Amino acid sequence: MTGEPTTGDQLYARHRAVLPDWLALYYQRPIEITHGEGRHVWDADGNRYLDFFGGILTTMTAHALPEVTKAITEQAGRILHSSTLYLDRPMVDLAERVAHLSGIPDARVFFTTSGTEANDTALLLATTYRRSNQILAMRNSYHGRSFSTVGITGNRSWSPTSISPLQTLYVHGGVRSRGPFAGLSDGAFIDACVADLEDILGQAHGNVAALIAEPVQGVGGFTSPPDGLFAAFREVLDRHGILWITDEVQTGWGRTGDHFWGWQAHDAAGPPDVLTFAKGIGNGMSIGGVVARAEVMNCLGANSISTFGGSPVTMAAGLANLNHLVEHDLQGNARRVGGLLIERLRAACAGLDGVREVRGRGLMIGVELVEPGTGDPAPEAASAVLEAARERGLLLGKGGGHNSSVLRIAPPLSLTVAEAEEGADILEAALNATQGQSGAQSGQTGRSAG
């Protein structure tokens, strides 16, 4: 009977019988995570794991954070839902904090239930404001799974259709170490990408609405351009009146350590016109949102609401989570512990022919795997490492524009030095154990999961 206790294999069989084939799962034998605390989670068999992926960068502070749990419980005891047709004090409270932190002058905030919906809203605003359906996006990018956001996603693994309501023009610059400009210095790389942008704009039909870009590409494998690229892009965009949308769904809230928002690494650009966020702010609750200058946010000429965006319970959780993050300086912790972790991983991988690069910022780290001797992407090796790490008690993510050959590391921002060392030791052991294994040992079921 549905709902009765089952084994993992039985639950997997039920999953496959009722859910889409394209719904990706990790591991040859997928696991059911039943509970968590701090930086650890447990599966249905009682196995304990150090969580280095946080539900795809979503458990931002800690599992079962008492402040968030208390806020949810107290708000649920008052009212769960009312919709945006009524005044919502927790929504106003959180909007005020987010507007202030965004750095955008005269900011307005609209809450959604996901990053996909946030980016979809940003596209609606930009195309309406600029009266154009032309969008600039970055190669290797990912912006969501809705019809419009798939249309601007520059990663073929996550773009199931070429049909789109938008005309998308893809720009170089999201990947520093691959592609036609990889051998250039940082300055020359930026110059080449700007020239590419200028050339693309010369081919556009009239107005272009916006450039949407992740400061660090998440699903794309935690790749990023040199600091200052978007400042250089902004000079071109401003000449044409084109809006800049920064997709901070994965980079926001201090995860990169050096900055609260990813766009701040390109500070000479000034604040963006539009900023989107999601994931970490809810610490697992469904929160996304858009921040924009008032004239951009208010450009819609029709009524709109959100049934679930800005719900009292999710807003209370988000406010408690954000307060904890700021009061405990988790951005600073991401910078300190993340810096130690990336250096430890670079040392561990220095002698491994199958590791092309360890890159990242703060607690947003990618380990790119390749076939030794060829430099070709190695998705099977990444799957094998994912499996070997899980067997040793560590959960990782996976991504990358080259068939998911990048290990993604993004633990809760409260990660301790001891936990960072433990995770690095496990990952080093998993890498050493899987060097030379064949593609037949792919550690994933279903389709590629980012």
Residues 145-163, mean pLDDT to the nearest whole number: 77
Mean pLDDT check: name the lowest of 129-133, 172-176, 396-400, 402-406.
402-406
Give the DSSP H or E segment for 89.
Answer: helix 89-102
**444: pLDDT strictly greater than 90:** no
Q: Are 128 and 99 in contact, with CB atoms under 8 Å apart? A: no
Indicate the CATH number of 67-327 among 2.30.130.40, 3.40.640.10, 3.40.980.10, 3.40.605.10: 3.40.640.10
High-pLDDT (> 70) share of the chain, %: 95
Q: How high is the pLDDT of residue 152?
A: 80
Question: Is pLDDT above 60 for 438?
Answer: no
Q: Kindly report which listed range (53-57, 352-356, 442-446) carries the lowest average pLDDT score.
A: 442-446
Residue 360 dihedral angles phi and psi, to the nearest 5°: 150, -175
Give the tokens for residue 170. 């893809």
Residue 443: predicted pLDDT: 38
Helices (H), 103-251: 115-130, 147-150, 186-203, 229-240
* Highest mean pLDDT of the ranges 146-150, 156-160, 339-343: 339-343
Residue type, 384: A
Work out the pLDDT band at 437, boundaries 50, 70, 90.
low
On the CB side of 221, CA atoms within 13 Å amount to: 32
Q: Can you give the residue ranges of every domain in the chain? A: 8-61+329-445, 67-327
Q: What is the pLDDT, as a whole number, of residue 445?
A: 40
Region 138-146: what's the mean pLDDT? 88
Judge whether residue 113 has pLDDT over 50: yes
Mean pLDDT of the chain: 92
The answer to whether residue 309 scores a pLDDT higher than 90 is yes
Locus of tokens 């998440």:
218
Pick left, alpha or beta for residue 64 (phi over 0 → left; psi -120 to 50 → alpha; otherwise beta).
Answer: left
Q: What is the mean pLDDT of residues 218-233?
A: 95
Tokens linked to 169: 């023009």
- pLDDT higher than threshold 90 for residue 431: yes
Looking at residue 277, what is its pLDDT?
Answer: 98
* Pair of tokens at residue 275: 């900023």
Q: Has residue 450 got a pLDDT over 70?
A: no
pLDDT, position 5: 62
Q: Hey, which residues does 169 pair with through a beta bridge? A: 136
Question: pLDDT tens digits, residue range 242-260?
Answer: 999 999 999 999 999 999 9
Worst-scoring range by mean pLDDT, 310-319, 321-330, 338-347, 394-403? 394-403
Query: pLDDT by residue (tens digit) across 23-50?
Result: 989 999 999 999 999 999 999 999 999 9
Predicted local distance difference test score (pLDDT) of residue 376: 92
pLDDT for 402 = 64
Assigned token pair, 228: 């200052």
pLDDT score for 153: 80
**Res. 4 pLDDT band, cuts 50 70 90:** low
CATH classification for the domain delimited by 8-61+329-445, as one of 3.30.110.40, 3.90.1150.10, 1.10.10.10, 3.30.10.20: 3.90.1150.10
Beta-carbon contacts of residue 390 (< 8 Å; ≥ 6 apart)? 26, 27, 31, 49, 396, 443
| Rounded average pLDDT over 298-309 | 93
Question: Residue 167: what pLDDT?
Answer: 87
Token representation of residue 53? 């992926």
What pLDDT band is residue 69 in, cutting at 50, 70 and 90? very high
Residue 401's pLDDT band (boundaries 50, 70, 90)?
confident
Nearby residues of 14 by Cβ (< 8 Å), 6 or more positions away: 2, 6
The pLDDT value given to residue 441: 41
Residue 158's pLDDT is: 66
Band of the pLDDT at 267, cuts 50, 70, 90?
A: confident
